[in-house]
Amino acid sequence: MGQDSELIDYESVQGQEMYRFKYETSDGQFREEVGMLVNVGTPEQELMVMGQYGFKSKDGGTMVMVMYTSGKKGYRARTVTRNSRDADLRNKAFLSLLMG
């Protein structure tokens, strides 16, 4: 977090076969991540992780986001930059990541 930023949102949930957390700071930084065990109890059992993190540029005009997945096929990330006035970008991007 930057010198003048404050934590404005935080959530953390842990279950037996999953976890989820997110945070957001007053200067526009954020991170969200979901992890879940798939194929539980089989030789193919693995931890699948999906998430995103981002921040606003110093001038506040651009939002930089990195969306990622990790699992048996390795780590994959995609970076997106948008005008920060597009407030729905984060939710749309994360939903597209979760839905494939």
Residues 58-100: tens digit of each pLDDT: 887 888 999 999 999 899 999 998 886 655 555 555 555 555 5
Total-model pTM: 0.74
Q: What's the pLDDT score for residue 82?
A: 84
* pLDDT per residue as tens digits for the range 27-65: 889 999 999 999 999 999 999 999 999 998 888 788 899
Question: In one letter, which amino acid is 96?
Answer: S
